[in-house]
Amino acid sequence: MADQPQHAPRLSRYQTTRPIFPPTQDRKVIVARVNDYLTIQLRPFAPNDLEHVHRLRTQEAVMVNTEIGTCDPDLATSQQWMDRFLPPNDATTFGWMIWARQDGEPWEHIGNMGCHRTDPVPHLGYMLRTEWWGKRIATTAVQAFLNAWWKLERRVMEIDPQNVDDEHKLHLMGLEWGQDEQGSASSEGMKVVSEILLAEVEHRNPGSIKVVERCGLTYRARETITVERGSFVLLDYIASKPTAG
């Protein structure tokens, strides 16, 4: 990561927007066509989805690109992961189960996606079962998600940068050690910044890099993350709100 200036003044606060997530029971199923013979649905998580989630999260090739890097050892671990998308936690998350139907066959659960982290920057993530890779399903699902995301109601919020521990995330939001994009501090201590949605892609995952680029996300930066399983490089891609018209 590039060195940050060590003595630039900080802003006292900044203003942006965040989506308001409707309750799970009010979220409508999203249907999208991948091609003439393949259709996907994005469905809200439900308590009886545990076995589907666990089946997905026990595929090694899927989990190797996640933060934990390993398969869920049991149903209880998958339940803990899924709980973030179920009431009452659905007030702060926007998660979906991905289902597919091919050539008139029954619907089949093939993946999960959504936003489970909004502070300080909303994050987008997805995972698909390996047998469904390479069919442009991820691209279709991300496009459908983004369309729903930017249609959500918004609220205005203020965040004090001094309460944000991650300087890298401040940079992604348009704040770099309290300076504006031209390098001068705001005279009133307030800066209005556009809302963004962040997708962090492991740099050795070319499939997901292609997906986010096809969906119009813009590469912004890279960072090295160190967790219990070691260090790895994340590429930060940004989705910005579409302009009217």
Cβ atoms of 47 and 217 closer than 8 Å: no
Which residues have CB under 8 Å from 90's CB, separation 6+?
Answer: 21, 23, 24, 44, 45
How do 94-102 and 108-115 pair as beta strands? antiparallel
Task: Quick: pLDDT tens for 119-129.
Answer: 778 999 999 99
Which residues have CB under 8 Å from 88's CB, separation 6+?
Answer: none
- 187, 189, 193, 199 alpha-carbon torsion, rounded to 10°: 130
Report the predicted TM-score, pTM, of the whole model to 2 decimal places: 0.86
The domain segmentation of the chain, as residue ranges, is 13-195
Q: Can you point out the beta strands (E) in 52-146?
A: 94-102, 108-115, 125-128
Q: Which CATH number fits domain 13-195: 3.40.630.30, 3.30.230.80, 3.40.190.10, 3.40.640.10?
A: 3.40.630.30
Task: Quick: pLDDT tens for 41-89.
Answer: 999 999 999 999 999 999 999 998 888 889 999 999 999 999 999 999 9
Task: Quick: pLDDT tens for 160-191.
Answer: 767 666 666 666 666 544 444 433 344 455 67
Of the pLDDT bands very low, low, confident and very high (cuts 50, 70, 90), residue 159 is confident
Task: Provide mean pLDDT across the span 79-103.
Answer: 96
